[in-house]
Structures are given as C-alpha cells and as structure tokens.
Amino acid sequence: MHTACPLSALAPGDALRLETTPPIAVFHTEDGELFAIDDTCTHQDASLADGWVEGCEVECPLHASRFNLRTGAADAPPAKLPVRVHAVSVIDGNIMVAESGEVPNLPPGLTLQGHG
C-alpha cells in the first residue's frame, strides 16, 4: 500500500505521480472520484499524470492516446495495450493506493529496471 498524499492536497481536476516502479498516476476527477493507474502510456514513455482528464478518461500528452480511468483500457490509438488499474481508498484523510499484482504493460524499449 502506497501513501499518495492527504486528500486535501489533491484538488478535484488534479493528478499526481507516485515514484513507484513503475510509476503510478493518481487522479482526483472534477466529479470528486479518485482513480489510480500506471503513469506510463503503453505506446511511448510519457507521464499520464501530465495528461488531460475528461470525464473518466485521461489523454496522453504525447500522442493523444486515451485511457479509461476505471478499466485501464486504451480507448484511442496509437496505444493498444491497457494500463493497470490500482485500488484507491482514503484512510485517515490520506489517499492510499493498493498496487495491482498484474504485470504492467510498458511501452516498447522500457523495462522495470529502466524505471528504477
């Protein structure tokens, strides 16, 4: 379980990057929902926390691939592979992320060691 930050420190519409291996992006949507997905686009090495959130999707800042924050599915090319989705909870006012046990889909040429 990773501690992201106090809930009060992540305003609706904002995102943050956790320096885990691989990194995780935590999103607080305009609707007040919290989501966590792998931070790295599966098409090319770009931070999804730097992307644009609209509804329940984040658009990669590099080539406009979109990922569903609920399912991790790649909803727009050029990305084809999904990102992992992580469980988010708020405990004692802190945003907590339980990392998925699935193997991450990393972009070509990127390894977990390369993220370390």
CB 26 within 8 A of CB 4: yes
Instruction: Tell me the average pLDDT of the chain.
Output: 94
Statement: residue 113 has pLDDT above 70: no
How would residue 116 be classed by pLDDT, with cut points 50, 70 and 90? very low
Domain assignment of residue 91, given as a range = 2-115
Q: How many domains does the chain have?
A: 1
Q: What is the CATH number of the domain that holds 12?
A: 2.102.10.10
Element at 115 (helix H, strand E): helix 112-115
pLDDT digits (tens, 9 = 90+) for 22-34: 999 999 999 999 9
Statement: residue 114 has pLDDT above 70: no
C-alpha separations of 4 from 15, 24, 53, 85 in Å: 10, 10, 19, 15
pLDDT digits (tens, 9 = 90+) for 69-99: 999 999 999 999 999 999 999 999 999 999 9
C-alpha separations of 7 from 10, 64, 94 in Å: 6, 28, 5
